[in-house]
Amino acid sequence: MNYYYQALMSQSTNSVLILSACYLLFAVFSGCGPRASIRRDYDFSQINRIGVMKFDSSQVGFFASYDPGNAVADEFVLQLLDRNVMVIERSRMEGVMSEQDLWKSGSVDPVTVKKIGKLLGVDALIIGTVTKYIPDRKERFYMRDEQGKLREEIFVVNAEVGISARMVDVESGVVIWASSYSYDSFYVDSAISQTVSAIMDTLKDILPAMKKR
């Protein structure tokens, strides 16, 4: 599904038909909902302020000037705010963590979660992992047509993003919600946005602020 080589290597009339089929397949695959688990015995009404930490992107590698973990965390902040949820500024939270030397290994244990909650006055933290990150790109190939003339073909590779997210209660350090999803799109920014949006929708019936939206 990432490669549209059939459409690009066909005649113009057939290309339209093949691309239409690709769009249909894209809609079907993207229609599968995210996985989610929720602590049914937890009182989500006590959550008023949430902190979002940078997502771990070590599974997908690091880029010279871009960390997918920051992009995903920023998108969570944006979409939480859009859903009327109070979110603490990430730079403030990470500044406090740095000052207190709370994040040494890239992971957050229950003791650290409790300290963050006490220092910043948040009720819960959203943490997680970027499980898949494939940027959109174009690949060029050269081949000969039926007349033997050399021509250039462009293979379009879609972006694909996978995210696993968790919400942790700062008092107990217990995970109270977890969700994962992956999505592919023409552009990586759109893939991140759609993945986060689908994951956030699994919270709409349990977070009071989102219920009021």
Q: How far apart are CA 169 and CA 156, in angstroms?
A: 43
Provide, rounded to the nearest whole percent, the portion of the chain with pLDDT above 90: 44
Q: What is the total count of domains within the chain?
A: 2
**What does the pLDDT read at residue 149?**
78
Q: Is there a single domain that holds both residue 20 and residue 114?
A: no
- Could you tell me the residue range of the domain that residue 19 belongs to? 1-32
Domain CATH for 131:
3.40.50.10610
Q: Is there a single domain that holds both residue 12 and residue 46?
A: no
**What does the pLDDT read at residue 28?**
33
Report pLDDT digits (tens) over 48-72.
999 999 999 988 876 667 789 999 9
| 34 neighbors 179 (Cβ within 8 angstroms) | yes
**What does the pLDDT read at residue 82?**
93
Over range 85-91, report the average pLDDT.
91
Q: Which residues contact 180 (CB under 8 A, 6 or more apart)?
A: 34, 35, 131, 162, 163, 164, 165, 199
Q: Is there a single domain that holds both residue 57 and residue 83?
A: yes
Report pLDDT digits (tens) over 100-145.
776 654 456 778 888 888 888 999 999 999 999 988 776 665 667 7
Could you tell me the pTM of the whole model?
0.74
7 has a pLDDT exceeding 80: no
| 163 neighbors 195 (Cβ within 8 angstroms) | yes
